[in-house]
Each structure stands twice: as structure tokens, then as C-alpha cells.
Amino acid sequence: MTALILTFSNDNESIPLVMEAIEARGEKAFRFDTDRYPTEVLLDIYSGASEGGFITDGDKRLDLSEVTSVWYRRMRYGHKLPDSMDKQYREAAIQESRASVRGLIASLPGFHLDKISNVDRANNKQLQLQIARELGLVTPRTLTSNNPEAVKQFAAECQEQGIITKMLSSFAIYGDQGEEMVVFTTPITEDDLENMEGLCFCPMTFQENIPKALELRTTIVGHQVFTAAVNSQKLEGSTYDWRKEGKTLVKEWEPYKLPEDIEKKLLQLMASLGLNYGAIDIIVTPDGQHLFLEINPVGEFFWMEIYSPKYPISQAIAEILLTGKN
């Protein structure tokens, strides 16, 4: 059996963890760094009289007919293309690279974790919240808008707790040295409400500010559910977004037992979205209520496993890739 893992060069420890778990079972894992395609990695796809093809990365070569499962992880199409290229040609090369890789994924038989069409659909946050509510999960009041007046009205309706803002996409700004500066969840002040002109350039998402006792990360692989909790309120910087103090809190995560009905509804959510893998964010309020925030169909898990043997998530991913049991 051979698992094809599509990712990029600077992806985190989750890739080697899963590859090691696959190889420990005597099977094969092949890593395809999409940012190094088409400049460094060769991809040959044949259609017609002969079907199949090859991925060649230096001295490593994969016959696509050997692939039994695919893990669609992180994609960075054509990122190694030279900046000196004419902008129009560079963008065309990236689009053609993207079409080639996505065409490869779509044409491969076998088990997919997860189908690329399901991942694309599940990435829509408004859809996630809609389905979650239909299943009986509690969600925060939410507004996505480029209309300052609508945001002010929403803030008035949530006046008791206030509101926060966040991005629907994985939005980050990169510095001159390539350092990533993530846009975190941020509280909205009265001054912010009076200076909303920038919404005409970029819509934003606003939610009521929910009091937190704990923040949960629930990682689901097939029917296996792994939940960890952290007290993000112990540090001033992580009050609204634990990721701002992620390195400080990384060893603070503890096992957490979800209520049975919440776990059942999360599995129903996964089934509704057609996902075998999902990383879910949940707030536990001081009175013990669980609020669903979002699900990331390719979300992170590595820090939970590295700092705690209680979360063998890479083993679960390896198992589902090799068995195809969803």
C-alpha cells in the first residue's frame, strides 16, 4: 500500500509523524511538496491509450498506479517560481500548476482523506454554522458584512458582552523576510465602530464575545474523537484567541471528556460535510455550555501529539489511510 501526501516544504511535524506511522506498519508514504512543483518536482500524467503517470522528486519516484490512498493536506502551488517572471505569466503558471495537481487528485482512485470537493465545501464557515445549528449545536451570533451600519446595529444587539472580529479565510501578512503575521480574533472597540470605512475594501466577520472558562480542540479521525482543553484566560494575550500565546500554552492542554450528546452531534456534522478528518474549535462557558465555533477540514493537531502521548492522532490518520475505513 502507498499513501500519497500532498503538502508543502515548510509544513509542520504532522507530516513526518504520519509518514513514520505508515512506515512502521510496513507500508509506503510518498510526500509531494506542491510548492516545489513545477520548478523542482516532475509530474507526468498520461491519459488515453495508457493511463497513470509518475511523480519524480530527485532520486525518489512514485508510480501513480501504486497509490492506494491520498491525504490532501496543505497546498502551495508554484511558490518556487521566480519573482522575476512577468506577473501575468507567473499567475498563469500557478493556475496551470494548480489545475494539474487538482486534476491528479481528482483522477486518483482509492481512499481520499478527504475528497477535495468535500474539503472545499466544508471550508465555508457560514455553511458550517448553519449545519451545526440544524444539528442542535449552540453557535455564537455571527455577522459577515461590508456594511458599517449593519455592524453597528449588530454591536448594539450584543452590547452586554461586546463583539469580536475574525477572518473567514486563513489570512496572514508576510514580512520582508517571509515571516508570517496571522490576523487573530480581536475585540471591537467603540473607536473601531466609528472607523469602519475600510469594510468597503474587505468584508469581515463579527461575532458576539462569548465568556470562556475553557477552549477546546476536538480532532476527529473517522469515528475516533480526541478532545483537549486549555485555560486561555490565564494569560492576558490569549483572552480572545489562544493562538496568540500558542507557544506559551502548548504544554497546558489537558484531556477533556465531551458530553455524549455534543460528541454525537459533532460526528453527525462530520458525516453531513462528508469528512473523515476535522479539527473543531469549541468554547466552554463559565456555566458549562458548549459553543461550536468552527471546523477546519485540514486543521492542525501536531502540538497535541508532540506534548502528550494521550493523543495518538497520527496513528489514527495512518490507520485510516491504510485501511480506507471511514
Q: Which domains does the chain have, with CATH numbers?
A: 2-109 (no CATH), 121-139+211-310 (3.30.470.20), 141-209 (3.30.1490)
Beta 142-145 vs 163-166: how paired, if at all?
unpaired
- CB 73 within 8 Å of CB 5: yes
Q: Hey, how many other C-beta atoms are within 10 angstroms of the C-beta on 193?
A: 15
Q: What is the pLDDT of residues 219-262, one digit of tens each?
A: 999 999 999 998 877 776 667 776 666 666 777 788 999 999 99
Does position 284 have pLDDT exceeding 80, yes or no?
yes
How much of the chain, in percent, has pLDDT values that exceed 90?
73
Name the residue among 56, 66, 7 with its Cα closest to residue 31: 7
Which set of grid coordinates corresponds to residue 172? 496572514
Cα(281)–Cα(172) distance, rounded to whole angstroms? 19
Averaged confidence pLDDT in the chain: 90
- pTM of structure: 0.89
Q: What is the pLDDT of residues 39-93, one digit of tens each?
A: 999 999 998 877 889 999 999 999 999 999 999 988 899 989 998 999 999 999 9
Does position 161 have pLDDT exceeding 90, yes or no?
no
Cα(294)–Cα(210) distance, rounded to whole angstroms? 14
- CB 109 within 8 Å of CB 129: no
Q: What is the pLDDT of residues 162-208, one digit of tens each?
A: 998 988 876 666 666 666 666 778 889 999 999 999 999 999 999 99
Instruction: Give the pLDDT band of residue 287 (cuts 50, 70, 90).
Output: very high
Three-state SS at 244: helix
